[in-house]
Amino acid sequence: MVLFRNRYVLLAAALAAAFLLGFLPQYFKTRALRAELNEAALESSRMRLRDLAALAYMQAGEKNYGLAAQTAAEFFDSVQKMAGQAETAEQRKMYEDIYSRRDTVTAALAKGDQGVLNELQSIYLKARAVTAP
């Protein structure tokens, strides 16, 4: 009777070990792929931020201030979100510096002020600097 019980314990232990040997490699692979996916999503967000800054600048340059205002609003919302996800205090400060210009840019675009181009160009350059890999 004891011999059968020992066999069942050994069999259960062997099954558990086989399960772990099959499970652990997949677990670590999935974990690595998930980290890679998160990094790619963050990089995509950074690129989108740059694209929005450039698009707002181009739209304002074409004197399409209404569309530029919409794009700028989307850009500043994204900047605020990215500031919350910043990896370093320096990046967070750069995002906050860009975000602090929101009211100035929004007001200038609402008035159709041609001088907003300089501000948008400066914002685009700062966005490029903060999102550089």
Other Cβ atoms closer than 10 A to 102:
17
End-to-end, the C-alpha distance of the chain in Å comes to: 66
The predicted-structure confidence for 74-115, as pLDDT tens digits, reads as follows 999 999 999 998 888 998 999 999 999 999 999 999 999 999
pLDDT band at residue 23 using 50, 70 and 90 as cut-offs: confident
Residue showing tokens 């605020």? 80
Q: What pLDDT shows up at residue 4?
A: 67
Residue showing tokens 């963050």? 42
Q: What pLDDT shows up at residue 44?
A: 93
Write down the pTM of the prediction. Answer: 0.78
Q: What pLDDT shows up at residue 1?
A: 58
Structure tokens at 101: 């210009």
The predicted-structure confidence for 46-73, as pLDDT tens digits, reads as follows 999 999 999 999 999 999 999 999 999 9
Q: What pLDDT shows up at residue 85?
A: 86
